[in-house]
């Protein structure tokens, strides 16, 4: 797992002040909460929204503390939770007679989970609802099934987790491997005293220098053969071949026929004959590369 940058002392003091203020904000009675939510929904009363959101900032902080195991900055988790809290306020329907805290909990937790999935690793961990559930519950389910054992997951445990979360068995295995690995920089040295870096051992998918040189030489040879073969054609044959095969915007048979004062069928016949001459000339030179 990638290591996040440590928070500065100023950031820590600011977070502490924010947490203290949030925890000292008075809780709302059900009646007051309903009134504020109704004023915001029906009248877009910003003051009502501020009071409603401020009262449940402690819920954001409490939820963020549950995600500390992922080693992400607390301030970022709280910020994402605030986004979820605002989304909950925008969608809350007070007439349903559900406490806002109950409704907002889902939005806050969902926002933080999305943030963890985006930042826990440079490799995207999961996108579907099933993969999210697997990511956040795999360790807990393993601890519950094996009673905290650190032994490798067995096939029976994999099957039990897959059944509990209703996901394919292969996804459980793949997620366990991801959670067991860590992100490493390719510029990290190999060994404590070595000068080599991990990127030095990555295979190059491109062609080797020898292949590139051979390809360049082959291209130059074919170019020479083609230019020599074109010189053996008549002026009209060469013009038709260049217009029909070598130009970026190729001419049609009809356009060439009009330009040369012949039918397009006659152009086709000349083109075919010229192509046969070219092929024979190129093959003749390719059999004798040293003399080409």
What is the per-residue pLDDT for 202? 74
Residue 198 lies in a domain: no
Residue 76 lies in a domain: yes
Residue 202 lies in a domain: no
Q: Residue 46 — pLDDT band, cuts 50, 70, 90?
A: very high
**73-107 residue pLDDT tens:** 888 889 899 999 999 999 998 888 889 989 999 99
**10-43 residue pLDDT tens:** 655 666 666 777 777 888 888 998 899 999 988 9
Do 116 and 133 sit in the same domain of this protein?
no
Q: Residue 211 — pLDDT band, cuts 50, 70, 90?
A: confident
Residue 38 lies in a domain: yes
What is the per-residue pLDDT for 187? 66
92: containing domain: 1-120
* Summary mean pLDDT of the chain: 78
Q: How many domains does the chain have?
A: 3
**236-251 residue pLDDT tens:** 998 998 888 888 888 8
Do 10 and 85 sit in the same domain of this protein?
yes
pTM value surpassing 0.75:
no
Percent of the chain with pLDDT over 90: 14
Q: Residue 292: pLDDT above 50?
A: no
CATH, residue 271: 1.10.10.10
Q: How far apart are CA 224 and CA 153, in angstroms?
A: 64
Kindly write down the DSSP assignment for every residue of the chain, as one continuous string.
Answer: -PPPPPPPHHHHHHHHHHHHHHHHSPPPPHHHHHHHHHHHHHH--HHHHHHHHHHTHHHHHHHHHTTGGG---HHHHHHHHHHHHHHHHHH--GGG---HHHHHHHHHHHHHHHHHHHHS-SS----SHHHHHHHHHHHHHHHHHHTT--SPPPHHHHHHHHHHHT--HHHHHHHHHHHH-----TTSBSSSS---BGGGGS---S--HHHHHHHHHHHHHHHHHHHHHHTTS-HHHHHHHIIIIISSSPPPHHHHHHHHTS-HHHHHHHHHHHHHHHHHHHHHHHT-TTT-
Do 174 and 282 sit in the same domain of this protein?
no
Residue 58 lies in a domain: yes
Do 92 and 3 sit in the same domain of this protein?
yes
What is the per-residue pLDDT for 103? 92
Do 174 and 254 sit in the same domain of this protein?
no
């Amino acid at each position: 797992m990638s290591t996040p940058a440590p928070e500065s002392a100023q950031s820590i003091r600011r977070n502490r002040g924010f947490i203290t203020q949030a925890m000292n904000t008075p809780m709302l009675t059900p009646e007051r909460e309903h009134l504020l939510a109704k004023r915001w929904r029906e009248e877009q009363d910003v003051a009502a929204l501020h009071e409603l959101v401020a009262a449940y900032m402690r819920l954001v902080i409490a939820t963020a503390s549950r995600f500390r195991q992922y080693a992400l900055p607390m301030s970022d988790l709280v910020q994402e939770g605030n986004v979820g809290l605002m989304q909950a306020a925008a969608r809350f329907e007070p007439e349903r007679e559900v406490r806002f805290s109950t409704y907002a909990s889902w939005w806050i937790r969902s926002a933080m989970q999305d943030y963890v999935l985006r930042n826990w690793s440079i490799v995207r961990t999961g996108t579907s609802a099933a993969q999210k559930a697997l990511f956040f519950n795999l360790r807990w389910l393993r601890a519950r099934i094996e009673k905290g054992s650190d032994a490798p997951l067995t096939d029976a445990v994999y099957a039990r987790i897959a059944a509990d979360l209703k996901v394919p068995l292969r996804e459980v295995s793949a997620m366990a491997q991801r959670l067991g690995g860590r992100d490493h920089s390719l510029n990290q040295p190999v060994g404590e005293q070595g000068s080599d870096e991990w990127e030095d051992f990555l295979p190059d998918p491109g062609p080797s220098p020898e292949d590139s040189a051979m390809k360049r030489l082959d291209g130059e040879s074919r170019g020479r053969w083609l230019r020599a073969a074109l010189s053996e054609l008549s002026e009209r044959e060469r013009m038709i071949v260049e217009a029909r095969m070598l130009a970026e915007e190729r001419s049609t048979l009809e356009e060439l026929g009009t330009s040369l004062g012949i039918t397009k069928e006659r152009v086709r016949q000349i083109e075919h004959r010229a192509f046969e001459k070219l092929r024979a000339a190129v093959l003749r030179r390719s059999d004798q590369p040293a003399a080409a």
